[in-house]
Structure 1
Amino acid sequence: MRRYAVFGSPIAHSLSPFIHAAFARQTGIALEYVAIEAGHGDFAEKLAASGVDGANVTLPLKEDAFALCRSTSARAQRAGAVNTLLHEGDGWRGDNTDGLGLVRDLTERHGLDLRDRRVLLLGAGGAARGVAPALLDAGIHSLYIANRTAERADALADALGDPARVHPRGWDALSDLGEFDLLVNATAATRTGALPVLPMALVAPRSVAVDLNYGASAVAFLAWARAAGCAQALDGLGMLVEQAAESFSLWHGVRPETDAVYAALRARVETSPAAGD
């Protein structure tokens, strides 16, 4: 039986083992999938000791995982972050399925047309790096990256290599940016219940807000989005399922169906909204 894991911190409430167990039953593939707590200081050691054939990586380790890889996919290179590891010889190949998972959820599950949309991305860490390339590939008009450390926003913009569409900004510039069609929260701050101050002028009547977190971690941002008048306020649960399906496909060569798994997770999170991946 092949063995897989998700690494991150905190990881106790991760839904990834539930998701991959459901995918395994659906496809008839025998596997073991566990959650392993790891931080910056011990991730490499725990990964090496785990004996896994592949792994998912969540906060705060996506950039650490990128640095560990012997080779990386083109989309991981653009992101500078990895959320999926595949054993390759005696090393690791890294990929990033976060962005594709987000775009699939927004376009296929929620019916959004991302073409020519003005998008605000809050945050410039591993989560933001994972989704930014896919948003650009989906045909958005422009991507504004706002981060409390402006240098990190600049670094992500440079990595994306699309100066005509990508505009890094410091957090203090938010009030001057106008309205956005899509607002994406990729910060980790809301995991501790601390929502940075956001001007409501960012929101237009038809704006859509999405938090890459789900459960308790998404409550503060989604409450702000509703209060500001967003037409839709979405959490990251659908993205979690879709990116997991892409990882599963990379490991096993078959992409599972996601709708039933998403429905089961939605019911589970509404019953017990603890923070997870």
Structure 2
Amino acid sequence: MQFAVVGNPINHSLSPLLHNYAFEVLGINAFYGRYCLDKEKDFRFLQTLGLKGANITIPFKEIAFSSCDETFGIAKKIQAVNTIVFCNNKIFGYNTDAMGFYECIASFKFKNTLILGAGGSAKALACILQEKNIDTTILNRSSERLTSFRGFETYTFDSFKPKKAYDLIINATPSGLENSFPIHKEQLIEILKQAQLAFDLVYGRETPFLQLAQSLKILIQDGKDMLVYQAILAFEIFMQSQGVVFDKNLLREAMKNFEL
């Protein structure tokens, strides 16, 4: 059995390490790799690569949704998937980002949050935060993507003037991969200075966003734990789609304790 993570850029992804380690620990004969996709296309082509399923990352989560024959859970609501499986010549889509993220902040008692970015990941996070009764505002560079966030307070970066403090600030843009700030530094300082936690979905590096938050004495967290939690859920979906029985407790123990 072969699986992969698909996106662009993709070389930084640690998902293969997590999944392949879990396969080894559980004694499952399978392999998980990376695939860099250079342009938008129907995700059915992944079957020609011999894949049984895939994780989808930036910037293809919404595009992959349109390729699915059927979607489940929160993926249907937000119209973005990060996990797909192929069964009976059909593509089934799921989103494990939402619960993977919430596992990371469940112990906090946040009342409100501000999300920077309006892509597929931002949709997943906004949806789960709304379900957990955490007031959520979304900021994005352009207004076009904000139209899909119905029921949320939304602003473009240029039009936003903070009128209140936000407990949680989430950077859901890929700015960390480009070693840049998601918005102007001065504006970001104004947003961050009264926050309790700054969370960047990028993992494996201390992004400018997190460095700035830390300099302001704000608690920081990168996307590593979210990666692990969403990977556990995706792994379960992959194996269940193939009828593979495995020890879920052993899976969780292996992924949580693996040193990335």
Q: Does 1:129 pair with 2:133?
A: no
% identical aligned pairs: 30
The 8 Å contact of residues 85 and 94 in structure 1, kept in 2 or not, is answered as yes
The 8 Å contact of residues 169 and 195 in structure 2, kept in 1 or not, is answered as no
Give 1:234 shift: 0.3
Q: Please state whether the residue corresponding to 2:122 is helix, strand or coil.
A: helix
The 8 Å contact of residues 127 and 186 in structure 1, kept in 2 or not, is answered as yes
Q: Please state whether the residue corresponding to 2:210 is helix, strand or coil.
A: helix
The residue number in structure 2 matching 1:13 is 12
The 8 Å contact of residues 208 and 233 in structure 1, kept in 2 or not, is answered as yes
Give 1:127 shift: 1.8
CA–CA distance in structure 2, aligned partners of residues 206 and 127 of structure 1 = 21
The residue number in structure 1 matching 2:243 is none
Which of 176, 190, 193 is equivalent to 1:190?
176
Q: Compare the two structures and name the one with the higher helix fraction.
A: 1
TM-score w.r.t. the length of structure 2 is: 0.88
Give 1:132 shift: 1.8
Give 1:26 shift: 2.9
CA–CA distance in structure 2, aligned partners of residues 135 and 175 of structure 1 = 22
TM-score w.r.t. the length of structure 1 is: 0.83
The 8 Å contact of residues 39 and 60 in structure 1, kept in 2 or not, is answered as no
CA–CA distance in structure 1, aligned partners of residues 75 and 169 of structure 2 = 23
The 8 Å contact of residues 8 and 38 in structure 1, kept in 2 or not, is answered as yes
Give 1:205 shift: 4.8
CA–CA distance in structure 1, aligned partners of residues 252 and 42 of structure 2 = 29
Q: Which amino acid aligns with 2:128?
A: A
Q: Does 1:224 pair with 2:220?
A: no
The 8 Å contact of residues 232 and 255 in structure 2, kept in 1 or not, is answered as no
Q: Does 1:214 pair with 2:203?
A: yes
Q: Which amino acid aligns with 1:229?
A: K
CA–CA distance in structure 1, aligned partners of residues 96 and 68 of structure 2 = 16
Aligned residues: 250
Give 1:48 shift: 3.3
The 8 Å contact of residues 175 and 199 in structure 1, kept in 2 or not, is answered as no
Give 1:47 shift: 1.3
CA–CA distance in structure 2, aligned partners of residues 129 and 40 of structure 1 = 22
Q: Does 1:72 pair with 2:60?
A: no
Give 1:98 shift: 0.4
Q: Please state whether the residue corresponding to 1:81 is helix, strand or coil.
A: coil
Give 1:257 shift: 4.2
The residue number in structure 2 matching 1:27 is 26
The 8 Å contact of residues 72 and 94 in structure 1, kept in 2 or not, is answered as yes
| Structure 1 residues 175 and 200: CA distance shift in structure 2, 3 A | farther
The residue number in structure 1 matching 2:80 is 81
Q: Which amino acid aligns with 2:164?
A: G
The residue number in structure 2 matching 1:147 is 140
The residue number in structure 1 matching 2:164 is 178
Q: Please state whether the residue corresponding to 1:175 is helix, strand or coil.
A: coil
Give RMSD over aligned pairs: 2.0
Q: Please state whether the residue corresponding to 1:174 is helix, strand or coil.
A: coil
